[in-house]
Chains A and B, each alone.
Chain A
């Protein structure tokens, strides 16, 4: 009997990792957390205002679970609160969804295109690829050939094929659906950024004991 009572008085919250929001918006509890609570208080919990975004917040706000617990306690003092998962939510304040600017995109595309073309030519020169190709040609056929194109053209196509294989984007459906190393890398980078933001934007997570240093 007692256990049932405890369960009925418990609010479970799980903070979301990242939330995107427009400027000047009111952040409600249901926006930043998943909630399990007794039916009676659920709707007022969901609509509870946690934060009002202002100009001063700029484009990142971190809401700590302690703040949420504090607010819930002040309204539902008798309830027990259980938190699960992340201890904070990052609110990303985005203006209107900015489209990709086409000239900018084309610039980057050609930058990468000519950059990698030049890089591979430098690499070939650096490692004397030409003489190695000639040597392989001579080993296989026994003849000398200054332009072993029969080797070099397949080699060039294979070069691109190898990169595609490594990133596994084009054949994703056919080979397997694991994320490509680049997607994992993007995810790790985002995770690092989030960790930085969590510690640096969250005033509560860094506190100086003495103010004079």
Chain B
């Protein structure tokens, strides 16, 4: 009986991991963040390494969130980690906005075809403001 239980639990764990993992990759693919980054840096040839970076990163995240490891390293390592994580989320948010096709329609409605950048800056500054406001003030209330 116990063997069957163990096999079943392993199977269900494996199956749900498979579903979540492929969903995660599919989400990233739809948003096109990796192609965008390779296009900006002209490193299309390294795309396979980027795939591995995502896989290893996701696996590290799994270990970090399930096993609670303690590394006891310098606190200043958090600064580059924060920036890179933030850039990733920023690109995610920008890609989502673009998928929904909001800005082209809005820009056309108010006849500002030349100056999309001002509207983009509104969104960008809004995100930075919202995020900083949340961590400095909002979470304490």
In terms of DSSP, what is the predominant structure of the interface of chain A?
helix
CB-defined contacts of A189 to chain B, threshold 8 Å = 101, 104-105, 108
Asked whether B93 lies within 8 Å of A159 as measured between CB atoms, the reply is yes
- Whether the pair A158, B86 counts as a contact (CB closer than 8 A) is yes
A158→B128 CA distance, assembly (Å): 8
The answer, among B68, B73, B126, B133, for a CB contact under 8 Å with A140, is: B73
Q: Report whether B33 and A166 are in contact in the complex, using a CB–CB cutoff of 8 Å.
A: yes
Residue from B79, B94, B120 in contact with A150 in the complex, judged by beta carbons closer than 8 Å: B79
Whose C-beta in chain A lies nearest to the C-beta of B72?
A142
Do A186 and B104 have beta carbons less than 8 Å apart? yes
- Check A154 against B127 for contact (C-beta < 8 Å): no
**Which size bracket describes the interface of A in this complex?**
35 or more
Question: B86-100 vs A: 1/0 string, CB under 8 Å?
Answer: 111111111100100
CA distance A104 to B119 in the complex (A): 13
CA distance A119 to B64 in the complex (A): 27
Q: Is the CB of A100 within 8 A of B78?
A: no
The residue on A at minimum CB distance from B135 is A152
Inter-chain contact A154/B124, CB cutoff 8 Å? no
> Distance (Å) between the CB of A172 and the closest chain B CB?
9
Q: Any chain B CB within 8 A of the CB of A117?
A: yes
Of B4-12, B22-30, B34-42, B51-59, the one touching chain A? B34-42
Is A113's CB under 8 angstroms from B90's CB? no
Interface residue tally on B, bucketed by range: 35 or more
Among residues 46 to 69 in chain A, which have CB atoms less than 8 Å away from a CB atom of chain B?
none
Q: Output the nearest chain B residue to A99 by Cβ-Cβ distance.
A: B111
Q: Are B127 and A159 within 8 A (Cβ)?
A: yes
Beta-carbon nearest neighbor of B122 in chain A: A112
Query: B106 touching A108 by the CB < 8 A rule?
Result: yes
Given A135-B65, A151-B81, A162-B89: A109 in contact with B110 (beta carbons within 8 A): no
Q: A2 at interface (Cβ–Cβ under 8 A)? A: no
Separation in Å of the A88 CB from the closest CB of chain B? 21
Q: A137 CA to B70 CA in the complex, in Å?
A: 10
Docked CA distance A166–B132 (Å): 21
Whether B65 lies near A185 (C-beta < 8 A) is: no
Which residues of B sit under 8 angstroms from A124, Cβ to Cβ?
A: 131, 134
Given contacts A153-B82, A158-B90, A189-B105, 12 further A-B contacts (CB under 8 A): A112-B122, A121-B131, A121-B134, A142-B72, A156-B135, A158-B84, A158-B86, A163-B91, A165-B91, A166-B94, A170-B117, A183-B116
Q: What is A's interface to B at a CB cutoff of 8 Å?
A: 98, 100, 104-105, 108-110, 112-121, 123-124, 130, 132, 135-142, 147-170, 175-176, 178, 181-183, 185-186, 188-189
